[in-house]
Structure 1
């Protein structure tokens, strides 16, 4: 397997590598991402089969909504993954990827529920929902 990316949580209790291509980043401004990340969440995605966990001793999953489950580190609190039940695709928070990533934000989603303390002024496409 060719490794295209590696990453980890802050304390390195969760480490991973991705063997497949990564998709451009989506910036999600939904209220759940804001609550779990502290702001909007920038996430890339890949085939779930391409994500290999090298260390998952502190990885825990939380069913944050009917739409998906969030993987986080129980020790340092890093928000790592989001996956819809039964999906063959998994989202990876871009900030947990080792640099350089070579990725760019493609669009903003759920801007209809973004907070009022910031503006989106980068000229990229914006969707009120997904």
Structure 2
């Protein structure tokens, strides 16, 4: 169960930021094919934020009407998926990976499991490597990426990109 508090998040480039107050309900992983396509990934982690206490604090998301009942919000600049919205409902779904602290909300369920990758049960058996442990070439590449990073930090900023 998520605790009531203030959640903030946004896209990778910082053009769209949002704030949700209260509790994020029904945290879940959706494996349906539509969510896979929208995320460009194998599943989409979502949770409901009360529409009354949710607001976009920077920029304006783009919207794609993925069905008669659902539109999906994203950043027009960097493409980050941000929202799954059913406008007639009292809530909006936030994509959990876009939260500033995504570990704050742990999924409690899965939906659309008919489209879940059959090999997910084998993920724990795959070899694992930390980013910095990828050998000298991997470390060099990681340092070069960090030094040229244009990703918005995981907190609200007054201005973005920062003035140089």
Q: Please tell me the TM-score bracket, short chain as reference.
A: 0.7 to 0.9
TM-score, normalised to structure 2's length? 0.66
- Aligned position for 1:69: 71
Q: Are positions 1:111 and 2:113 aligned together?
A: yes
TM-score, normalised to structure 1's length? 0.82
Partner Cα separation in structure 2 for residue 65 and residue 91 of structure 1: 15
Unaligned runs of 5+ in 2: 123-164
- Aligned position for 1:80: 82
- Aligned position for 1:49: 52
Partner Cα separation in structure 2 for residue 101 and residue 51 of structure 1: 20
Larger Rg: 2
Shift in CA distance, 87/41, structure 1 to aligned 2, threshold 3 Å: same
**Alpha-carbon deviation of 1:113?**
2.1
- Aligned position for 2:133: none
Matched residues, number: 119
- Aligned position for 2:96: 94
Tell me, what secondary structure is at the counterpart of 1:75?
Answer: coil
**What root-mean-square deviation, in Å, do the aligned CA atoms of Structure 1 and Structure 2 show?**
2.1
Moved over 4 A (4+): none
Unaligned runs of 5+ in 1: 122-130
Greater fraction strand: 1
Partner Cα separation in structure 2 for residue 45 and residue 95 of structure 1: 14
